């Protein structure tokens, strides 16, 4: 179990905290569902509710730091999501310790639960995993779109001779006129009307306004 005052881990039979001296109240009977809900609201809050204030604040601090970095580097937001998911496991473990289980083991405890509790546990885990995976996929998708937009902007601003066109037409003539004829759809999406009269006429003849 943990000291509610300083978060130090203590033996199950401890009467006073060996770290701060506070008297330990036994039989706290913390509710695991409340801890999980608090974790959903705020990372680390479930551990704080269970009495492990130190761990809860560390989880919260790490996630806030990763989110701050993620504002500038999107991929780091994936780590923030993983910390959020991990906080649920720690909240469950801290509640079990607060309730007198010195060495909680989720797998063994799961096997001993009744059918209804097992179904609830599976649903909660599934929701956490789905939310985490979908968020990570969204972050990766946004990051990919950002890279594509940067390449497109670079292509247009350099008159159509950029790494974007080179990667799209690797090993072939990637001059604007050739691209317009070979792939007018792609070129039309990346071309500013009025830059080249011949290309304008060609695209108009192909039905592009």
| Shared-domain flag, residues 101 and 140 | yes
- Confidence tier at 1 by pLDDT (50, 70, 90): low
Question: What's the pLDDT at 73?
Answer: 86
Question: What's the pLDDT at 170?
Answer: 46
C-beta of residue 124 within 8 angstroms of C-beta of residue 117: no
Higher pLDDT, 45 or 206: 45
| Shared-domain flag, residues 39 and 138 | yes
* This prediction's pTM: 0.57
Q: Is residue 94 domain-resident?
A: yes
- Confidence tier at 59 by pLDDT (50, 70, 90): very high
Question: What's the pLDDT at 166?
Answer: 44
Closest CA to 190 of 167, 172, 141: 167
Helix residue ranges, H only, the chain: 32-41, 45-49, 53-70, 76-98, 106-112, 115-157, 163-168, 176-182, 184-190, 197-205
Supply the range of the domain harboring residue 172: 158-205
Higher pLDDT, 154 or 25: 25
Q: Is residue 10 domain-resident?
A: no
Cα angle value 172/197/166 (rounded, 5°): 20
Average pLDDT over residues 13-20: 76
| Shared-domain flag, residues 67 and 140 | yes
Q: Is residue 18 domain-resident?
A: no
Q: Is residue 115 domain-resident?
A: yes
Higher pLDDT, 137 or 147: 137
Count of the separate structural domains present in the chain: 2
Question: Helix 76-98 vs helix 53-70: angle between axes, to the nearest 10 degrees?
Answer: 170
- Confidence tier at 167 by pLDDT (50, 70, 90): very low
C-beta of residue 24 within 8 angstroms of C-beta of residue 100: no
Tens of pLDDT, residues 88-128: 999 999 998 888 777 788 888 888 888 898 899 899 999 99
Q: Report the mean per-residue pLDDT for the chain.
A: 76
| Shared-domain flag, residues 142 and 165 | no
Closest CA to 50 of 102, 10, 20, 93: 93
Distance CA 206, CA 209 (A): 9
């Amino acid at each position: 179990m943990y000291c509610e005052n300083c978060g130090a881990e203590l033996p199950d039979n401890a009467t006073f905290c060996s770290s701060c001296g506070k008297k330990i109240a036994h039989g706290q009977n913390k509710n695991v569902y409340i801890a999980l809900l608090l974790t959903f609201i705020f990372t680390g809050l479930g551990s704080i509710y269970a009495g492990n204030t130190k761990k809860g604040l560390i989880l919260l601090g790490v996630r806030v730091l990763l989110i701050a970095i993620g504002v500038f580097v999107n991929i780091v937001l994936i780590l923030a999501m993983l910390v959020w998911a991990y906080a649920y496991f720690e909240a469950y473990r801290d509640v079990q310790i607060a309730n007198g289980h010195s060495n909680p083991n989720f797998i063994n405890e799961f096997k001993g639960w009744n059918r209804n509790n097992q179904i609830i546990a599976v649903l909660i885990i599934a929701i956490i995993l789905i939310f985490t995976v979908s968020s990570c996929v969204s972050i990766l998708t946004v990051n990919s779109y950002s890279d594509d937009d940067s390449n497109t902007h670079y292509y247009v601003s350099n008159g159509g001779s950029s790494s974007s066109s080179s990667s799209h037409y690797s090993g072939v003539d990637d001059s604007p006129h050739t691209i317009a004829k070979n792939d007018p759809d792609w070129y039309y999406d990346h071309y500013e009307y009025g830059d080249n009269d011949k290309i304008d006429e060609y695209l108009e003849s192909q039905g592009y306004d």
